[in-house]
C-alpha cells in the first residue's frame, strides 16, 4: 500500500483520501470485537449435554482491551444487529487505516494539511 502511495501525486492522494473518507459509515455504529459461536455444557447432572448433546450455539462478542479479552453474551434477538455493527466497524477501521497511511505519506512529503 505505502509503496503505491509513494507513486501518487499530492492531488491524487488528496482525492483518494476524500473518496475513502466519504465511505466511512456512521461512527455511532461502532462496536469493536469479534463474534464467535460456541456450544455449551450446563450444570445439570442428568442433562443430555453430559452425553455429548451440547446446548447452543450461543453467540458471544470477544472484546479486546488492555491486553486481555473478555466474552460478552449476545442474545439471539441481538445477534443480527450486533453482527451488522461489528461489520460496519471492521469496514470503517480498514478505511481509517488507509486514510492514516495517506496522511503519513503526506507528512513524509511535508504536505500534510
Ligand atoms: Zn445441559
User: Does the pLDDT of residue 66 top 90, yes or no?
Assistant: no
Question: What's the 39 CA to ligand 1 centre distance in angstroms?
Answer: 10
Residues whose CB is under 5 A from ligand 1 (ion)? 42, 44, 47, 49
User: Does the pLDDT of residue 1 top 60, yes or no?
Assistant: no
Question: What's the 76 CA to ligand 1 centre distance in angstroms?
Answer: 18
Question: What's the 35 CA to ligand 1 centre distance in angstroms?
Answer: 23
Question: What's the 71 CA to ligand 1 centre distance in angstroms?
Answer: 20
- Does the model's pTM come out above 0.85? no
CA distance readout (Å), 85 to 57, 68, 75:
20, 22, 15
Give the CA radius of gyration of the chain. Answer: 21
C-alpha cell at 46: 442428568
Average pLDDT of the segment spanning 63-71: 92
pLDDT tens-digit map of 94-111? 999 999 999 999 999 999
pLDDT tens-digit map of 6-59? 999 999 999 999 999 999 999 999 999 999 998 999 999 999 999 999 999 999
Amino acid at each position: 500500500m505505502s509503496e503505491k502511495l509513494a507513486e501518487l501525486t499530492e492531488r491524487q492522494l488528496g482525492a483518494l483520501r476524500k473518496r475513502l473518507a466519504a465511505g466511512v459509515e456512521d461512527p455511532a455504529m461502532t462496536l469493536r470485537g469479534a463474534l464467535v459461536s460456541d456450544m455449551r455444557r450446563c450444570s445439570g447432572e442428568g442433562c443430555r449435554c453430559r452425553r455429548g448433546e451440547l446446548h447452543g450455539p450461543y453467540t458471544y462478542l470477544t472484546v479486546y482491551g488492555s491486553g486481555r479479552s473478555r466474552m460478552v453474551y449476545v442474545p439471539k434477538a441481538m445477534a443480527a444487529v450486533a453482527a451488522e455493527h461489528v461489520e460496519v466497524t471492521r469496514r470503517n477501521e480498514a478505511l481509517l487505516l488507509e486514510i492514516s497511511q495517506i496522511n503519513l505519506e503526506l507528512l513524509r512529503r511535508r504536505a500534510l494539511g
